[in-house]
Amino acid sequence: MFVTSRGVGRVLKLERVGPDVSVWLGPVDLTDVIRDGVIKVDQPIDFRNFAFVQTPELPGAVRAAPSLVSDRYQGEPVRYADWRASDVTLPVTRLIAVDRSTQGGQNTLPPATVGHSLAFGVGRFVVEMSQSVPHSTWPYQAADQQVLVVRVAYGPSASQSRKRPPDNKDGTKPWSSQPLEGSGVSAGLELGITFTLHLQEPRLHANTVISDGRIQQSNFRVDGIRQIDVDIGAGSRLGLSDNLSQRIEMPVDLVLPVAPTLGLPLNIAVRQKFMIQTAFTAKNSTLLAHGSYVISGALSSNSDADGTSASAPNIQIQQSLLSALRGASLGVNGVVVAYQIRLVLGLGIPAAFVGPHAGLTASFTVTRGSDLGLLVCRMASTDIAVNGGVGYKLEPAFIDVLASMFSRNASTHAKLDSDLIDYSKPVFHWDTTYPAIHLCKN
C-alpha cells in the first residue's frame, strides 16, 4: 500500500473504526517495491530542512541492557560498552483514519514537525534533538556548517523540565509513561548526556542497482561529518540502588523527502539510538567528563555479489575523556554511554525505512576511583565503529508480536524478515589509565 508519496508498507491488518478503515502497515523489502531499476542520488544534506517524524509508543524503545554491577559489588572497574551496531529494533507503524467525534483522535500519528528542535519522552528519559548553525568558536570555518545535537536527561530534574511535552488538548498523554524495563525507578539518579555531531558541507551519494528482484550493487556515501563530542554528567544519591542499564531506540526520525520519481516515496532518514549504563557504588557521588573526536573522511558502505564493506575514516582525539574527567565519591564509579547514528536512503514507513545506509557507533566509558585512597585512579576508553549495508532487521520479540497478529488474520501473507545486508567495522579504539601504575591498571 502506497500512502500518498510519503510512505509504502505491507498491509498486515484491516479493521473498521467507525465509518473508516484502519490499515496496519509493516516493513517491506526494497525489492518488494522495485523489481528492476536504479536508485541514484547525489545531493547536499541540510539538516535544518529535515522534518521530525514521530512514532509514539514505539515497541521495544526502552530495553534492559546487561548490568555493569551487581548488588554485591566486587570492585571490578567498568571497562567497555557491550553494544553492537547491528542491534536494531524496528516496529510496525499504524497509519490510522479515526472518527474524531467518537474516538477523540487518540490513535492518530502526530504530523511531521518542521523546526530546529523537538523534545520528547522515552520511558523516563527526556530527549531533546536540535539542528543549528554552530558558534563561531567551532574550528571548521566553512560556508556550510551544521550541528546536530541530542541531549538526554534522566532524574527528578528531567521529569520537571520544560522539555517534557505537555498533555494533548483532549487530556491524553503524547508519550507512553511506562517504567523502565529491568531497572525500576532510580529515584536518586541524575543524568545529563549530550552527543554533538559537527558537519561541514554534508553531502549524500548513493547508487543502488536492482535487477530481477535482487540487489546487484549498492554504493552509499555520506561526506561532511567532521567531529563528534560527548558530554557526561551523572550523580547518584543512593549508590548501588540507583544504577540503571538501558538501550533506547529514538521514537523520532529526521526525514527529508527526495523529489519523487514515478511516485516512489523515497526519503533520506536519520535513525538514532543510545545506551546508558551506570555503575555507582557509593552514595552522594558525582561524575563528569567531556570528549571531542575529529573525523576525516567519508562514511560509506559498498555491497555487491562479493559481500559488503564499510569505509574507515581517520579519527583523532581533540580532547580526551580522561583530561576532563572529574567528580567526587567515597567509592569507585563508572558510566558507559553509546550513541549510534545511521543515515538511510529508503522507502517504507516511519521508523522502518529500508534501503542503503551508513553510519557510525561511538561508545564511551569513564571510571573514577575513590577519594579515600592516597591517589584517585581514573580510566577512560572510546570505541568507534562504522556500519553500512542494505535492508532492515527485526528483533525476535517483535517478530513474536507480528506472528501473533498473523495468527488472527489467516489471510495475511507477509514476510517477518528482510534480505538484510549489514556490516560493522571497528575503526578506532583508545583507552588509558591515570596514573599509569600497576595499582590503577588492575
Over the stretch 269-320, which tens digit does the pLDDT of each residue have? Answer: 898 889 999 999 999 999 999 999 999 999 998 888 778 888 878 999 999 9
> Is the predicted pLDDT of residue 144 greater than 60, yes or no?
yes
Q: What is the pLDDT of residues 20-47, one digit of tens each?
A: 888 887 778 888 888 999 989 999 998 8
- Residue 356 domain-assigned (yes or no): yes
CB 315 within 8 A of CB 293: yes
- Residue 20 domain-assigned (yes or no): no
* Closest by CA position to 427, among listed 287, 315, 302, 294: 315
Cα–Cα dist 410/426, whole Å: 44
The full length of the chain comes to 442
What pLDDT score does 106 carry? Answer: 44
Q: Give me the mean pLDDT over the 95-121 stretch.
A: 56
Show the domain range for 274: 31-88+111-393+420-441
- Residue 406 domain-assigned (yes or no): no
Least confident range of 143-157, 191-205, 251-265, 311-325:
251-265
> Is the predicted pLDDT of residue 94 greater than 50, yes or no?
no
Coil, strand or helix at 440: helix
DSSP 353: -
Cα–Cα dist 283/280, whole Å: 8
Percentage with pLDDT > 70 across the chain: 67
Q: Is 311 exposed, middle or buried (0-12, 13-18, 19+ CB in 10 A)?
A: middle
Q: Using 50, 70 and 90 to split pLDDT, how confident is the model at 327?
A: very high
What pLDDT score does 203 carry? Answer: 94
Q: Phi-psi region for residue 48, left (φ > 0), alpha (ψ -120 to 50) or beta?
A: alpha
Cα–Cα dist 376/373, whole Å: 6
Mean pLDDT of the chain: 76
Q: What is the pLDDT of residues 335-392, one digit of tens each?
A: 999 999 999 998 887 767 888 989 999 999 999 999 987 889 999 999 999 988 887 6
Q: What is the pLDDT of residues 231-280, one digit of tens each?
A: 999 999 988 888 988 888 787 888 888 876 667 888 898 988 899 999 99
Q: Give me the mean pLDDT over the 193-208 stretch.
A: 93
Q: Kindly state the cell numbers that stand for 338.
A: 553509546
Cα–Cα dist 39/259, whole Å: 12
- Residue 119 domain-assigned (yes or no): yes
CB 230 within 8 A of CB 335: no
DSSP 60: T
Higher pLDDT, 312 or 62: 312
CB 117 within 8 A of CB 165: no
> Is the predicted pLDDT of residue 184 greater than 60, yes or no?
no
- Residue 15 domain-assigned (yes or no): no
- Residue 339 domain-assigned (yes or no): yes
- Residue 352 domain-assigned (yes or no): yes
CA triple 176-180-185, angle to 5 deg:
115
Provide the number of structural domains found in the chain: 1
Cα–Cα dist 157/154, whole Å: 7
- Residue 46 domain-assigned (yes or no): yes
